[in-house]
Structure 1
């Protein structure tokens, strides 16, 4: 965290579900006395580990999770709070009313939806507008150059063409998790390497291997790496985006930081995503 902060990074993604992550961030901020310089996104209302398929999105769960998050983070507010999952059986009105109360209280500055289907996000924002409540300020699905064959985790949502088109029209910021597709573009995986069953099930497809091939070509031209190209794909969309990264060491962190400086043209983004057979050279 120190290295990331020294490099200019100031935003940390965490969640109630991430075991001791909030506690570690809170202790770090307290020891460095830098809370005013840090932006925190935490998430709540994830199912408990013992019952992963039992939704727990409710006004009481929202309030309880935020209270515990603030305690663990050793702060009185978070800049960003997202619902980690959805429960389509709960009316959006009750959810948006509860989130609005948290914004009004000052415990949360901005609210978002993680792993919500587009129709639910639109319904929730429509309700909020009609009732003069805070709308969702951001969306946080998976968005990556590699497209998933199935959800990587239960009840997770990846941005499809319709969701991307909506973001382009609405300009609602998208904060992507698994932005580098679990390291698919790192060089650790090949079509004949099927040791990692999850990666095979989620990402192995002819289309994704073609995306990887094109990322290699573009990386060579720009003197970077394929995984840096994959991250720059997320950051060079036609609407505001941010990418959640999970570096395991300083080298991976430095690679991701460098990727933020890569500029891709619209033609290059579409070519990487197999929307063009040939790139337009300029």
Structure 2
């Protein structure tokens, strides 16, 4: 396993971050087996969100209690996701989401607390002020933003620097070799060329969700197979099929598979990156870990992304 550093987090963070939506305290044997496989592969970071519901978080809490390994884990919590009534970027919503997440996971803090969405109608200063309390109380060690534009991130961190506040230590948009035709979910942000250039300049760590593009590179899809309407809507395009063909060709040359090439693309950017993985089985965990063994040159990354 390879690791990156995130300011404020005391331990190195594994470049593969385990998702939690498949976990459940109602399926503890399965959940524990999956988490144990991830740990054996060298992983130490788990992504959670209040909006995902209680079961995954409770499974993580039970597992950490049984293994006695909370201090070695990096927990990412996300809160303030909008609800049916609209944005929830308020102190009460942030505090409630974080408090309930901690209770579910049987822990006193999360290593990184992220805002799950932005509320562009609120100033970055007002939002950052809301987050200083949990930091000062030790309920989290670092702040992150999920699905924020890099423009808003830059504004926020500039405000933090001017006012002596803690800004965002990492960004979590979608970044994948397959480029989405439109957001997979409402309010989601995918990193484009300008965002990648910004990350190269700032070196702010990027934690990519849907890093494997929903399995687009596994071989389960083809232009003729249109049974999955979400995959068709988000990823079906001639440009992405060409990326798939190039990933498959390069995989054959390197003795790996296209899905690992696509994951290696995310992990070999010229700035610190982690990839969130949604492995459903231990075998899928170990397969994703193999992507860390794949070496890509700058020219290969450009070629995969149709830049030459």
Q: Same fold (TM over 0.5)?
A: yes
CA distance in 2, matches of 1:137, 1:261: 27
The match for 2:283 among 213, 232, 251 is 251
1:5 maps to 2:50: no
Unaligned 5+ residue runs, structure 1?
A: 277-282
Partner in structure 1 of residue 60 of structure 2: 25
Secondary structure in 2 aligned to 1:17? helix
Following superposition, the deviation at residue 119 of structure 1 comes to: 1.5
1:43 maps to 2:75: no
Following superposition, the deviation at residue 7 of structure 1 comes to: 2.0
Partner in structure 2 of residue 263 of structure 1: 295
Out of 199-208 and 1-10, give the one that drifted further: 1-10
Alignment of 1:105-144 (within 5 A): 105-144=137-176
When the two structures are superposed, what TM-score results if normalisation uses the length of structure 2? 0.87
Unaligned 5+ residue runs, structure 2?
A: 1-34
After TM superposition, the runs of 4+ consecutive aligned structure 1 residues lying more than 2 A away are none
Q: How many residues are treated as equivalent by the alignment?
A: 273
Partner in structure 1 of residue 224 of structure 2: 192
Alignment of 1:1-282 (within 5 A): 1-19=35-53, 20-48=55-83, 51=84, 54-276=86-308
Following superposition, the deviation at residue 139 of structure 1 comes to: 0.3
Following superposition, the deviation at residue 44 of structure 1 comes to: 0.5
CA distance in 2, matches of 1:158, 1:132: 30
Name which structure has the greater RCO, CA cutoff 8 Å, separation 6+. 2
Secondary structure in 1 aligned to 2:171? strand
**How big is the alpha-carbon RMSD for the aligned residues of Structure 1 and Structure 2?**
0.9
Please give the per-residue CA displacement for 1:150-198, whole angstroms capped at 9, x wherever unaligned.
0000100000111110000000000000000000000000001111011
For the 8 Å contact 1:58–1:90, the answer to whether it is kept is: no
Please give the per-residue CA displacement for 1:229-281, whole angstroms capped at 9, x wherever unaligned.
000000000000000000111221111011112111000000000001xxxxx
When the two structures are superposed, what TM-score results if normalisation uses the length of structure 1? 0.95
